Structure 1
Amino acid sequence: MKIPAFLTLASTLLVSACASPPQEKADAPAPEAAASTATVHTYRCESGETIAAAYPSTDSARVEYKDRRDDMQIAVSGSGARYAGDDLEWWTKGISPGSEGILFRHLADGTTGERLEICEAS
């Protein structure tokens, strides 16, 4: 029995398509690229220090303070947005110029500790 040429071609294409690894979308940035393209908000603190905060996703923040960078996750707050990391917390109310940001120690039991900085978005 002779197999029609179009069936042979179709079978070959089907097998090769199944064997190919899935490709990522060309327009979807890698997770680290998405983080690096997040808008950075600058806050001037009462102490004279500066805090740079970026929000790579709706549930995370990257805070730069005194030559260190902390990746934080959203946490429960009564008002504003609260992000907690290993030993720091970043609370904000708004992100426009004049908005407030407060940096705290984050305690091992998940509670807020000593206030480190009170800052204003510039």
Structure 2
Amino acid sequence: MHSRNLLLASIATLALTGCVAPAARHADRGLPISWTDYRCSDGQTVQAAYPDADTALIKVHGEAHTLHVALSGSGARYTGDGWQWWTKGMHDGMLAPLASGETIASSPSIDCQAR
């Protein structure tokens, strides 16, 4: 019975760890998150960070969003939490909202450039 409880506790711990936002996991490891500020063509500012090769964290309208790498013909495209963030090189980005059920944004993208 003790080994079963230990197994259940281990599974619960793993499940909860998987639910923690990447930024929190990154910070827990003592690694700083480096944010890049982007100025967009519509005047807004987007901040982006990349805690690992598969994740982009963006701050839009004062809210943080976690996006995950998605299939792209060129550049790096991330989707999730209602947003698409597509970067080309280290300085250019494009932001677009995702409608419910979309995996590729149908709305026009807003061009953004790193400051």
Separation of aligned partners in 2, 1:40 and 1:86: 19
Residue 100 (structure 1) aligns with: 92
Q: Tell me the TM-score normalized by structure 1.
A: 0.66
In the alignment, the residues of structure 1 paired with residue 31 and residue 69 of structure 2 have an alpha-carbon distance, to the nearest angstrom, of 18
Question: In the alignment, which of 34, 44, 47 is matched to residue 39 of structure 1?
Answer: 34
Give TM-score, length-normalised by structure 2: 0.70
Aligned match of 2:104 in 103, 111, 116?
111
Aligned-pair identity in percent equals 36
Q: Deviations over 1:84-116 (max 9, x none)?
A: 012110000112xxx211001224142222125
Counterpart for residue 85 of structure 2: 90
Structure 2: gaps spanning 5 or more residues:
1-23
Unaligned runs of 5+ in 1: 1-29
Larger radius of gyration: 1
- Structure 1 residue aligned with 2:5: none
Q: What value does the CA root-mean-square deviation take over the aligned residues? A: 2.0
Are the aligned partners of 2:94 and 2:111 in contact in 1 as well (CA < 8 Å)?
yes
Matched, 1:60 2:52: no
Moved over 4 A (4+): none
